[in-house]
Amino acid sequence: MDPITETSGTAPLTSNLKMLRLLEEISKTDAPFGVSEIARRVGGSRSMVHRQLVTLVAAGWLSANSQGSYSLTFSPVRLGQAALRHASVDVRIAEELTRLAGELGEGVSLGTLDGDAVTIVGRGLPPRNVHVSLKHGQRFGIGGSALGSVLLSYLPEAETARLRDIDDELPSEAECARVRADGFAVLVDSDYDPIEIIAVPVGRSTGRVRFALSAHWPQGRTKPDHVLSLLEAGARTIEDLTEQSAGILLT
């Protein structure tokens, strides 16, 4: 017997269960998908799955393009963030960012792609005062940022192509290949006092990198190799925490 039925005596809504199973299958995709493809995955009729997809578009969970393909929006991220809070994983990520900033003596930022922009979803500051150039929740363009370069470099080809169609100032394909080969992006911002910035992916698999981690400091104050080694270790810790949260969300 279903555990919900056993404890409450109320049967679950079959239609809702089918929708949730559809979302679970969608979460396994790496690129925009069509109705036939996802219907085959879930073993449902094309007409029924199409109605489910249209419902998810109306709810803001999916977007549809002119070719009839569907993509997840960032609306489900709010549910994932709630799961992190319920499991206290977001607290642990914040603690890791603070720990990392203290060890580096510099500010660190955790960013993700939100549509065609980078959004800062986590910040860590050391005990001493440092110049803060990025704030929690801040959004900025992908081009011209180390975080954006890393996040773009690990996107699936279809998503990269979509972004290039709407923004001609993105890093080139050669630059993205170099980021993947090196495992990091480096940038010197000379608008004011020169600031060095290094960003690394949280994870290394193309299509699976959802976050990037960066640190910045006045040029010459810190050795980049030292920053890079600490950032990579911090990224592995954060990757472990996000994977734990994904496991919690599926159980």
Query: Comparing C-alpha atoms, which of 53, 113, 82, 27 is closest to residue 62?
Result: 53
61 with 141, same domain? no
Range of the domain at 88: 76-250
Residue scoring higher pLDDT (199 or 5)? 199
CATH number of the domain encompassing residue 42: 1.10.10.10
The amino acid occupying position 232 is E
CA 19 to chain centroid: 23
Q: How far is CA 101 from CA 2, 66, 109, 110, 187, in A?
A: 46, 44, 9, 12, 19
65 and 164 part of one domain: no
Q: Which of 44, 73, 102 is the last residue of a domain?
A: 73
Read off the tokens for 97: 């960012």
pLDDT of residue 8: 59
Domain final residue pick, 36, 51, 73: 73
pLDDT digits (tens, 9 = 90+) for 97-155: 999 999 999 999 999 888 788 988 888 988 876 655 666 678 889 998 999 999 999 99
Q: Percentage of residues in the chain with pLDDT exceeding 70?
A: 86
Does residue 147 share a domain with residue 179? yes
Do 38 and 84 fall into the same domain?
no
